[in-house]
Amino acid sequence: MKAMLEWSATELSKAIHARKVAPSEVMAAWLGQADAVNPSVNAIVSLRDPDDLMAEARALDDAPPQGWLQGIPFAVKDLVATKGLRTTWGSPLYRDHVPAADDLVAARLRKAGTVIAAKTNVPEWGQGSHSFNPVFGTTRNPYDLTRSAGGSSGGAAAALATRMAWVADGSDMMGSLRNPAAFCNVYGFRPTWGLVPQDAEGDTYLSTLSTEGPMARTVEDLAQLLAVLAGENPEVPFPRTLPPLPLDRDLTGLRIGWLADWGGAYPMEPGILDLCETALTQMQAMGAVVEHLPPPFPAAQLWSAWTTLRAMLNAGGKRALAEDPAKRALTKPETLWEIEQGLTLTAQAVHDASVIRSRWHKHAARLFQTHDAVVLPSAQVWPFPADWRWPETINGHQMDTYHRWMEVVVPASLIGLPALSVPVGFGAQGLPMGMQIIGRSGDDAGMLAIGQAWHRATDWPQQRPPLVAGAVSR
């Protein structure tokens, strides 16, 4: 039954519901793949006892199929609390933490019928787009085990690429759904902010930068998982309703704006822009109209607003980590830096950042009056050595913060736009890359439809990493 590892989640769901495949068979295949592959990539952590998992799966064999994920093993990102299953946030402070309740994402996954079997690895506190932490170590890139899988959803992306996941949840404050998707040759979708609601914990009015979202090897699976994750939570403000997600459309007449390196503001390693431009040429052949656009807004202002608001939220939510000496000693320096930056902010600085954010939203809205989507690379660097903390330079340009090297994701994140990272192939060293397809607020269906047309034309995720190159085809 190894072939089922290559199926899409949609295909597997249909087979389970039609009783052509039993959940226990699926679980056995998944456990076998995790046993064979995970020691090399370290994507899956906190794996439950295999005997318990098999018993839970067997109990589903004769149960009436219910949700879309019925009987499908799922590894939840280790930034999401899972009832009865260790959740660490990558922090030694929570090395043995077992939550008493599910976060909203985990609860919705369970309701859809999944068997929550493990967690996926993350950076400590999800900060920095490289998934390493002192609890579980480093997640490695399936296409080159000496390289990073990205982050913070690096474990999720690597699990998808190595067929240890059919679909995966991720989260994205800066680029944590898009960057690892690009590094691992899969899809990552940051939905319009608010479409997947927050948990009703802490601040839910000012915290409008981060969102949960789906990752997958097909766009159809992205849409199906988004339907599981989305839906109003009446306990938090700013509700949004998931629109219908028709995926069938061609690209004829689609107006795409190519923003490249934002007029030179975002340094790129050689080959990344070329690969994206090759992809856009293919989209033109599919009927799209592509126009190279000048920068629509000053990049320096976007970065200033982003870092201010991010620091404010980090200081507000994590201040205790810096003020308690025992906790401080066990907290990564990047997190402490974020907190300390936030603690120096004035109310005027936060207001000014919000004004910039508001102005960018207005400019972006006008941009989407003339273009259906705009495109940027998903990352500014190729997957980098796994023993680095982060890339300190790009083409001789010094990075002044631990996350400056991924600045290209900020335009969409700052104002909560839907952004789909699609694979666009491999560079000279055989490393994957992706590009962001970004739409107007609320046009999640449009971005997924573009992605579906692209997937049907290319299906890059079928270019398997060496660890699974011998897997059985569908």
The domain that holds 337 is classified in CATH as 3.90.1300.10
What Cα–Cα distance (Å) separates residue 267 from each residue in 51, 262, 438? 50, 9, 20
| Structure confidence at residue 470 (pLDDT) | 62
Residue 294, sorted as left (phi over 0), alpha (psi -120 to 50) or beta, turns out to be beta
* Phi, psi of 44, deg, nearest 5: -95, 130
Which residues are registered as beta bridge partners of 290? 256
pLDDT per residue over 282-318, tens digit each? 999 999 999 999 999 999 999 999 999 999 999 999 9
- Whether 474 maps to a domain, the answer reads no
- Whether 176 maps to a domain, the answer reads yes
| Structure confidence at residue 469 (pLDDT) | 79
Average pLDDT score over residue span 341-361: 98
In DSSP notation, 4-37 reads GGGS-HHHHHHHHHTTSS-HHHHHHHHHHHHHHH
Given a contact cutoff of 8 angstroms between Cβ atoms, the answer to whether 123 and 149 are in contact is no
Q: In whole angstroms, what is the distance from residue 446 CA to residue 438 CA?
A: 10
Average pLDDT score over residue span 243-259: 96
pLDDT per residue over 412-435, tens digit each? 999 999 999 999 999 999 999 999
Half-sphere exposure of 195 (CA within 13 A, CB side): 28
Q: Taking the complete model, does pTM exceed 0.95, yes or no?
A: yes
Given a contact cutoff of 8 angstroms between Cβ atoms, the answer to whether 375 and 437 are in contact is yes
- Whether 292 maps to a domain, the answer reads yes
| Structure confidence at residue 474 (pLDDT) | 35
Average pLDDT of the residues of the chain: 97
| Structure confidence at residue 2 (pLDDT) | 66
| Structure confidence at residue 125 (pLDDT) | 98
Q: How many other C-beta atoms can be found within 10 angstroms of the C-beta atom of residue 365? A: 12
For residue 187, give the amino acid letter. Answer: Y
For residue 284, give the amino acid letter. Answer: Q
pLDDT per residue over 45-63, tens digit each? 999 999 999 999 999 999 9
Cis peptide bond upstream of 171, omega within 30: no
Structure tokens at 37: 């592959």
Q: Which H helix or E strand runs over 367?
A: helix 347-367
- Whether 80 maps to a domain, the answer reads yes
pLDDT at 65 over 90: no
Structure tokens at 177: 């759904």
Q: Please tell me what DSSP assigns to residue 63.
A: S
Q: Where in 86-242 does DSSP place strands (E)?
A: 115-120, 132-133, 137-138, 140-141, 144-148, 167-172, 187-190, 211-216
Structure tokens at 453: 């047309």
- Whether 262 maps to a domain, the answer reads yes
Q: In whole angstroms, what is the distance from residue 10 CA to residue 160 CA?
A: 14
Domain housing 423: 2-468
Number of domains present in the structure of the chain: 1
Q: What percent of the chain shows pLDDT beyond 90?
A: 97
Average pLDDT score over residue span 215-219: 98
- Whether 473 maps to a domain, the answer reads no
* Collapsed DSSP state (helix, strand, coil) of residue 140: strand
| Structure confidence at residue 419 (pLDDT) | 99
Given a contact cutoff of 8 angstroms between Cβ atoms, the answer to whether 390 and 128 are in contact is yes
- Whether 348 maps to a domain, the answer reads yes
CA torsion sign for 262, 267, 270, 275 is negative
Q: Please tell me what DSSP assigns to residue 331.
A: S
Given a contact cutoff of 8 angstroms between Cβ atoms, the answer to whether 263 and 466 are in contact is no
Pairing of β 211-216 and β 187-190: antiparallel
| Structure confidence at residue 472 (pLDDT) | 43
CA torsion sign for 417, 421, 427, 429 is positive
Least confident span in 68-72, 245-249, 436-440, 453-457: 245-249
Given a contact cutoff of 8 angstroms between Cβ atoms, the answer to whether 239 and 197 are in contact is yes
Q: In whole angstroms, what is the distance from residue 321 CA to residue 318 CA?
A: 6
pLDDT at 341 over 90: yes
pLDDT at 473 over 60: no
pLDDT per residue over 369-403, tens digit each? 999 999 999 999 999 999 999 999 999 999 999 99
Structure tokens at 154: 């690096």
pLDDT at 215 over 70: yes
SS (H, E, C) 103-139: CHHHHHHHHCCCEEEEEECCCHHHCCCCCEECCCEEC
CA 382 to chain centre: 17
- Whether 285 maps to a domain, the answer reads yes
Q: Where in 266-350 does DSSP place strands (E)?
A: 289-292
pLDDT per residue over 161-198, tens digit each? 999 999 999 999 999 999 999 999 999 999 999 999 99
pLDDT at 471 over 60: no
